[in-house]
Structure 1
C-alpha cells in the first residue's frame, strides 16, 4: 500500500505466542482483539507509536511490521537500509511479544527495492524470506505485492514459487498476500497464477482505497470490492462462499488517503460488521502511525479527520474472527 512514505511503504497479520500477560487494571475494559487484527506499524516515519501504548488503550496485541525490502542484491533489511536484527525493529518485536502479542513482518509495499524483484530466482527469494522467518521465529508473514513488482508476470510467478517452498519448509506458518483492488474487486492475475501453481494462502487481502472513491462512501465501496475478491477466489480455487470469505481479508487506510478519499471511523464499523458476518481471515489497516488527530503535523503521523487517538484501532479491535 502506498502511504505518504519517503522510501518504502504500503500495507497487510497474525501470529501467536504462548501466554497472554494481564492487562493493567486501568485497561481491563479494553477488548482482546483477534490475531486477525494486526494494524500496520511502520518505524520508517510518522513518529512511530509505542505498541504498548496502543495495546493498553485498545486491546490490540498484534501488529503488521513494515517493510522488509532488499538492500542491494536479494538481501533483506528493514526498509532496505536498517539492519535486520539489533535495531529499532527488533526492539519493537520484543516489546510486542513482551505484551503477549506478536508481529507479522510485511515484505514489499509501494516503493523501495523489493526482494521479489531483486532476487533472481524463486530459490533465492525463498531463502531471503527464510532469513527473516528464522531470525525472529515467525509464525506469519505478509507479502504486500504492489507497483512494478505486481505488474511483472515474472515477479508474480517467482513470488508464488518462493512461497510454495517457504510453506513447505515451515509447517504452520501463516502466509498473507496483500494486493490492490478496484471498486469491483482486484485484478486476478496473481490469484489465478497462485491457484494454477497449487499455492494456497491464509488470506488474500485487498487494499480498498486509492481507487477513485472520492466523495463516495468508502465503507460501502470496501464491501463491494471485498465481494469481488470473494467471487475471484471462488472462481480460481473452486471455493464455496464460506471458504472464500474465510480465506480473505481487508486492509484499509484510515482517514485521508493518498488520493484524497476519506475513510471514516464509521466506515471502519461497516467493514467490521462485514468481517463479523463472513468470518474474514484478516482485518487490518495502514496505519497505526496515522491513528491520531492532526495538530499541524505531517500526514504520515495523523489521519486528517476528526478523531481521538486510536479510534480506528479500537473499532477493529472488536473483531474476534
Structure 2
C-alpha cells in the first residue's frame, strides 16, 4: 500500500498490461499447515497510518466499533538496512505509543513493512540474512505475533528483491516459532498476475511457509467491486491449491482480501453493501484475512481532505465495524 494510495494508479496501469501466465506446477514439497483460523492480529486488522492525514485515536475507534487489532503502516528503510516508520520515525517513538494504547485496550497490532512508495528494506538490504535482521528488529521492538510484508512496485516486480523478501521471511519464521507472516500484493480481477504467480511458486520452492497471501483487489479495473473481488480471490485460492497441494479449506485459510473503502484512486467505488458482501464471502469460506485501507478514511468527508475520508455517504467507522465482525 502506498502512503497515499494515489501512487497505485501507476501500479494499476502496469498490472492491466500484464497477462496471466501458466499456473505453477505443484512441487513435491509437503504443504505447510493451515494457520489456526488466522489467529489475531492477522485475521481482522484494518490499516491505520500514523504518518498520513489526521489519524484517528485508536481508543475511540476500538470503543465505537469493537475492533481489537490494527495493521500499522508503514515500516521502511531509514536509508540503510535499518527499519523506521516512514523511514524517519524511530521504533520507540509515537508509533510505539499507538501500539501501547491498542494493547492497553485489549488488542494487538501487525506492522506493515513496505508499501508502494518510499525506500523499501527489501531493496536496500543486500541479502536475505540482513533483511531478516531488519525484520527481527521490528519484531523484538514490540514483541510481535505477526508481520505483514506489503510488496509492491519495483520490490514486487524485480525477481531479485522478491526472492530476498521470501528468503528473509523463511529465516524469520524459523527464528521466531509461532510468528504469523502475511504477504500483501496487487492483483488483477482475474487473480494474481504473472509476477504474483511467480512469487507464490518461488515461495513454495524455497519453503517460505507464508501464512496468508493477501491480495489488494482495487485500482484493478473493477466494475462490480464485490463480484470482482470474489473472482480475484477464487483465482488466488485455486493458485494456492495447485501450487501447495492444499485442500479448498486450507487454500482459503491461506488467502486474504485487503480492499479499499469508498472511492479508490481509479474511480472504483466500494460502498458498505459491497464491502459487506466481501465480508460474508470471507466468513463463509474461512479466509485467513479480511481488511481494508484504511481506518484513516473510514469517516464522512464533511469538507475534509481525501486522506481523512472515503468520499462516499457514510457514518464514522462503517467499514471498521464490518471488519470487526470477521474472525477468520
So what's the TM-score if we normalise by structure 2? 0.88
Give the whole-Å Cα distance in 1 for the aligned partners of 2:278 and 2:210: 21
- Tell me the distance in 1 between the aligned counterparts of 2:224 and 2:91: 40
Matched, 1:191 2:197: no
Q: For residue 320 of structure 1, report the CA deviation from its aligned partner.
A: 2.5
Residue 307 of structure 2 aligns to a residue in which SS? coil
What is the root-mean-square deviation in Å for CA atoms of aligned residues? 1.8
> Which segments of 5 or more consecutive residues in structure 2 lack a partner in the other structure?
12-37
- Residue of structure 2 in register with 1:230 after alignment: 237
Query: What secondary structure sits across from 1:303 in the alignment?
Result: coil
CA–CA separation in structure 2 for the residues paired with 1:35 and 1:76: 21
**Equivalent-residue separation in structure 1 for 2:73 and 2:149 (angstroms):** 10
Deviation at 1:292, TM superposition (A): 0.2
Match of 1:211 in 2: 220
Question: Aligned partners of 1:2 and 1:79: how far apart in 2?
Answer: 11
Q: CA deviation at 1:4?
A: 2.5
SS at match of 1:64: strand
**Offset at residue 298 of structure 1 (A):** 1.5
Q: Indicate the residue corresponding to 1:268 in structure 2.
A: 275
* Secondary structure at the counterpart of residue 243 of structure 2: helix
Does the Cα contact within 8 Å between 2:183 and 2:213 map onto a contact in 1?
yes
The offset of 1:139, in angstroms, is: 0.5
1:295 is aligned, of 278, 302, 321, to 302
Q: Where does residue 49 of structure 1 map in the other structure?
A: 56
Contact 1:139 1:173 (C-alpha < 8 Å) held by counterparts: yes
Change (3 A) 1:183 1:5: closer
Change (3 A) 1:156 1:35: closer
Q: TM-score, normalised by structure 1?
A: 0.90
Confirm or deny that 1:162 pairs with 2:168.
yes
| Structure 2 contact 59–101 (Cα < 8 Å) conserved | yes
Cα distance in 2 for partners of 1:46, 1:67 equals 14
Query: Once the two structures are superposed, what CA deviation does each residue of 1:173-219 show, in whole Å capped at 9, x if it has no partner?
Result: 01000011000101211111101111221110000000012xx2101
Q: Structure 1 pair 119/3, CA: closer, same or farther in 2 (3 Å)? A: closer
Instruction: Check 1:319–1:15 CA distance in 2 against 1; reply closer, same or farther (3 A cut).
Output: closer
Question: What CA distance in whole angstroms lies between the structure 1 residues aligned with 2:3 and 2:269?
Answer: 14
Contact 1:46 1:290 in 2 (8 A): no
Query: Which SS does the other structure have where 1:295 is aligned?
Result: coil
- Alignment-derived partner of residue 173 in structure 1: 179
Gaps of 5+ in 1: 17-33
SS in 2 for 1:292: coil
Aligned residue number for residue 24 of structure 1: none
The alignment covers a number of residue pairs equal to: 298
Divergent runs of 4+, >3 A: 5-8
